[in-house]
């Protein structure tokens, strides 16, 4: 299927590695011009070069800490100065520390909310007017399976991400009239450095090996395996395309069937 993404301008945050990088690579393969951001400028430049060498399409690295509203505004100014518009916004950030209720103070929750909720709100506020002006836009917010099924060792994620779903639904309701769609994607276990870190933590807590902890993560999933960043990116690329024009306000799980509820 031709996703009709050639020359679309895409902003992908938290994209020097992991899920964000996979999304940038997939959009770039489909012909989009990608602006990628994260904090470590060296790794970001390296990732941009790597993607450009694989796809032959322009990838612009712009360092930005998404917890800093001023840096988001600078990112927006730079993108609009260079490209005049934005067609696709993929909001993403680092993950909050793992742990359960006994491990965290109110301040920890505040930091997690800044990282995972306020960053998405600021990014969407920044880029929405350009989408409104051109009467076209695709907003995809990355969240987590925790928005459907809270996980005991990820209580900061459980609390901080659900507001993103509510914000995305509000955007979907109020901006559909501008031909802008807004959806959330909710990954289960996808093999990135973040997940490797969580597997390592479980191995330490249960005094077992990395391989055994990995198997016990996979055992929770009907498909009996962890997902790949490429599988995640394929979903996002479709939602980012004109082909997904009638999908709006949804939260789409990509979890191998790990979520056990009906709706």
If one asks whether residue 168 binds ligand NAP (CB under 6 A), the answer comes out as no
User: Which residue among 2, 40, 77, 103 contacts ligand NAP (CB under 6 A)?
Assistant: 40
Per CB under 6 A, does 256 bind ligand NAP? no
Q: Is 17 in the site for ligand NAP (CB under 6 A)?
A: yes
Strands of the sheet containing 137-142, edge to edge, are 59-61, 33-36, 9-12, 88-91, 137-142, 180-187, 251-254
Q: Does 43 bind ligand NAP (CB under 6 A)?
A: yes
> In the set 45, 67, 73, 251, which binds ligand NAP (CB under 6 A)?
67
**Residue 93 beta carbon to ligand NAP: minimum distance, rounded to whole angstroms:** 5
Measured from the CB atom, is 140 or 180 closer to ligand NAP? 140
**CB 210 to ligand NAP: min, Å:** 16
Does residue 116 contact residue 164 with C-beta atoms inside 8 Å? yes
Q: Binding to ligand NAP by residue 20, rule CB under 6 A? A: yes
Identify the residue among 9, 12, 16, 51 touching ligand NAP (CB under 6 A).
16
Q: At what angle do helices 155-175 and 119-134 cross, to 10 degrees?
A: 20
Find the binder of ligand NAP among 8, 167, 171, 187 (CB under 6 A): 187
């Amino acid at each position: 299927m031709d996703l009709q993404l050639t020359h679309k301008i895409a902003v992908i945050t938290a994209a020097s590695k992991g899920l964000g990088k996979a999304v940038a690579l997939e959009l770039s393969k489909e012909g989009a011009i990608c602006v990628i951001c994260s904090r470590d400028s060296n790794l970001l430049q390296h990732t941009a070069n790597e993607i450009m060498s694989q796809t032959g399409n322009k990838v612009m690295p712009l360092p930005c800490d998404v917890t800093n509203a001023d840096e988001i505004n600078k990112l927006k100014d730079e993108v609009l100065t260079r490209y005049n518009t934005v067609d696709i916004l993929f909001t993403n950030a680092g993950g909050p520390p793992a742990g359960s209720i006994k491990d965290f103070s109110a301040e920890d929750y505040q930091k997690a909310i800044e990282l995972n909720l306020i960053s998405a709100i600021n990014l969407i506020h920044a880029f929405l007017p350009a989408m409104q002006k051109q009467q076209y836009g695709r907003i995809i917010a990355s969240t987590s399976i925790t928005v459907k099924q809270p996980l005991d060792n990820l209580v900061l994620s459980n609390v901080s991400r659900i507001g993103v779903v509510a914000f995305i639904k509000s955007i979907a309701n109020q901006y559909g009239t501008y031909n802008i769609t807004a959806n959330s994607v909710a990954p289960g276990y996808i093999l990135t450095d973040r997940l490797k870190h969580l597997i390592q933590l479980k191995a330490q807590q249960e005094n077992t090996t990395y391989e055994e902890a990995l198997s016990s993560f996979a055992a929770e999933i009907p498909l009996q395996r962890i997902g790949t960043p490429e599988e995640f990116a394929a979903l996002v690329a479709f939602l980012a395309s004109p082909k997904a024009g009638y999908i709006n306000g949804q939260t789409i799980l990509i979890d191998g069937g790990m979520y056990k509820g009906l709706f």
